[in-house]
Amino acid sequence: MSSGYPDVFSAPGRRIGVEEEEAVLRVLRSGHLWRVDGTDTPALEHEFAELMGARHAAAFATGTASLHAAVAALDLEPGDEVIVPPITDAGTTIGVIAEGLVPVFADLDPVTGCLTAQTVAAAIGPRTRAVMVVHLFGGGADVEGIAEVCRPRGVRIIEDCAQAYWTRTPSGAVAGTVGDIGCFSLQQSKHVTTGDGGLLITDDPALARRARLFADKGWPREEGTRTHLEHGLNYRMSELIAAVARVQITRAVGVVADRRRVAQAWDQALERPGLTLAPRPEDHSYWLYPVVIDPAVIDRDQLVARIRAVGLPASAGYLERVLYANPVFTQRRTFGTSGWPFTLSERGSPHCPQAEILVGSTLVTIAVNENLTPAQIETSARDLAQIAADLGSTDA
């Protein structure tokens, strides 16, 4: 049995070195750990914007906070609708609900698990004001096609790139740079990490300003007065986090390149009837390695069990249920028993068949890590090839 593979929850599976240690010590010794009047957080924002080719960036305490700030920056009205995918973390929808907006679930591509131009077009209604496009597992959604549907209607686009550092979209653009706003996560399991943290990019100075104000109680500190211009929360990133993030973002390109090398070996191993692998692997950043099975050919439970048995973490369906099947949506557990803001919409209960099939019967994800050694890549690929051959055999 193969074992000892690195994972993202311990040092062997993370790229954290002396540079991060020195950054933390530098801030600690300065005595100034607060973002306000600090130097590392604005430096991080400048450096990340430059790295991503964006005009503006803003830093936040978490990736979810960056998504909430992005939604708040759009300045929408209560009851307005935001289209979201049903296979994603709840962080994609938390800010939508918190701003009094109604999340509307659209179905997904049956292979990538991402929104498509067709599914978004089918979900657009008279109160649709924005779409939250998630680049699931690091695979680039067709955000360009979605933009062609949305922009003539004045519908804004937020890209959730929490799993998608250096992912490329179908046009070759870097994920996060096609929509109005792109949001990134620095959470423990992401390609680069500070434990928690978030970043937002945009070319629109007004959106950048509103997002920053929202993260600091609506307080324009640069004006030198204690004024609160609008509603906001405290989502500030600390100087300690920013100092580590400044180092971590420089590692993103190498991390993604090494994950792609692992995925290339696994693609060769799993190229079998009954298994559909991620398209455009050269553009994928492989936060997870997704496989879509044909249940008539491959038994999903057996596949997951066999993969786990050789030491690779694997999951059937990624989520236990599609997001809208959780009690927060089915019971409208939001603000007391009011059901608000869902009560502001006349939409019926969501039903996204392709998403339900992915979670219920066809999707398998395998944890991939940039720190796999060449020997571990070879061993894991050999094991996966044997498993696929055994389970896909007509004699099985």
Q: What is the pLDDT of residues 298-352, one digit of tens each?
A: 999 999 999 999 999 999 999 999 999 999 999 999 999 999 999 999 999 999 9
215 in Cβ contact with 234 (< 8 Å): yes
Cα four-point dihedral sign 200, 201, 207, 210: positive
Q: What share of the chain is helix, strand, coil (3-state, %, to 5)?
A: 40, 15, 45
- The pLDDT of residue 393 is above 70: no
Residue 392: what pLDDT? 77
Domains recognised in the chain with CATH numbers: 11-251 (3.40.640.10), 252-319+355-391 (3.90.1150.10)
Helices (H), the chain: 18-30, 40-52, 63-73, 91-98, 117-123, 143-150, 205-214, 239-248, 252-269, 300-309, 327-330, 353-357, 374-391
Residue 2: what pLDDT? 43
Average pLDDT score, the chain: 96
Q: pTM for the full model?
A: 0.96
Give the residue-averaged pLDDT of 38-67: 98
Q: Position of tokens 């099985």?
A: 396
